[in-house]
Amino acid sequence: MYSLLKSDIAQGCVVPPVVLALPGTVPDPASLSDKELAVAIADNSKSLMILDGLQRTHTIIDYLAELDPSATDSAVPLRIEVYLGLNRLGILYRMLTLNTGQTPMSLRQQIEMIYTDYQGKTLSGDVELLAESDSKYATKPFQFNFKDVVEGYNSYISRDELPMDRSTVLDNIRTLERLAAENQDSDVFEKYVAVVHSMVTLLDSLGDVSLPPEFSDTITSPFGANLLKVFKRPQALSGLGAALGKLIDRGVLANVEDGSALLEKSGSSDPEDLLVRLNESLDWLKNNTTKIGNAQRSYFTYFFRELFNDDTDSYLKLNDAAVSALRKYQDQNG
């Protein structure tokens, strides 16, 4: 396919348009002349993102590299469309709509690419997002693997804790369009990270509890030896994201920030019992489900929905939510 495109370029054919976006605040395009628009785009060229046409761009670069350096005419006729001033959700929405007829990257991959500038940074005061290239391990309470946090944010956007296939992406484009329209002046990714920060703060306040020695007599491979290890796993982060999104859609929560406020009010009178209940529930899933990872994600979604919904008996009660979440899963999948 790409060799044919190179052949077309060599014959002077017009390449299908490449679609770019320049995120951030720029002057109103309607107030600028064509020349001023060109200058604004050129001045911010390092911030340009390719929404559609990445492979075409690489093919053009390869074609130009193969030309004789002494060639006098190396121009490639190309139409370029540029979106100005989109926020990150707006960019993601357009990436999905432009690529739905093809076999695109997964939504998680596209989110990871759009938010890649957060890798290695510290957000919400303490949360450090580690890139795989950093060769670091997320051993400290507020350290997270960037890809795990992206997975949780993906679940918030899609309102689904399970990995998305192409048909699911198509079903959720309207949700993404609405999110982009509602959040023009805010970065929801940072707000989701703030909820993660509140979760770690809550767990840290419960102390460094461990499973009792007798626990190993019945369960040899616990999901998490302490509370932080349980909730820093991608299954828990996905459950948190999906629960927030679903409760917002149902009007139970007004916005993402409500998750932080509720975590600050949540608690446990017996943290060791909480750790035991979580591991017992997750061990049941391991022994009684076929798609264990998906089951664990669903369990944590029920956990946070039970914890955040004031209509439940587990409202703000961590220990009760750990038990009722399994019961909910069993009722829905029995």
List % helix, strand, coil for the chain (3-state, nearest 5): 60, 10, 30
**Would the pTM count as exceeding 0.75?**
no
Q: What are phi and psi of 17, to 5 degrees?
A: -60, 145
List pLDDT tens digits, range 225-240.
Answer: 999 999 999 999 999 9
What SS3 string covers 27-91?
CCHHHCCHHHHHHHHHHCHHHCEEEECHHHHHHHHHHHHHCCCCCCCCCCCEEEEEEECCCHHHH
Tokens coding 46: 């390092």
SS3 160: coil
CA atoms within 13 A on the CB side of 197: 17
List pLDDT tens digits, range 259-275.
Answer: 999 999 999 999 999 99
Mean pLDDT over all residues of the chain? 83
**pLDDT greater than 80 at residue 322:** yes
Tokens coding 289: 């489900």
| Cα separation, 329 vs 334, whole angstroms | 8
pLDDT at 320: 98
pLDDT at 26: 62
pLDDT at 99: 64
| Cα separation, 55 vs 207, whole angstroms | 51
pLDDT at 183: 55
Tokens coding 261: 């406020």
Q: What is the mean pLDDT of residues 169-180?
A: 54
Q: What are phi and psi of 50, to 5 degrees?
A: -90, 115
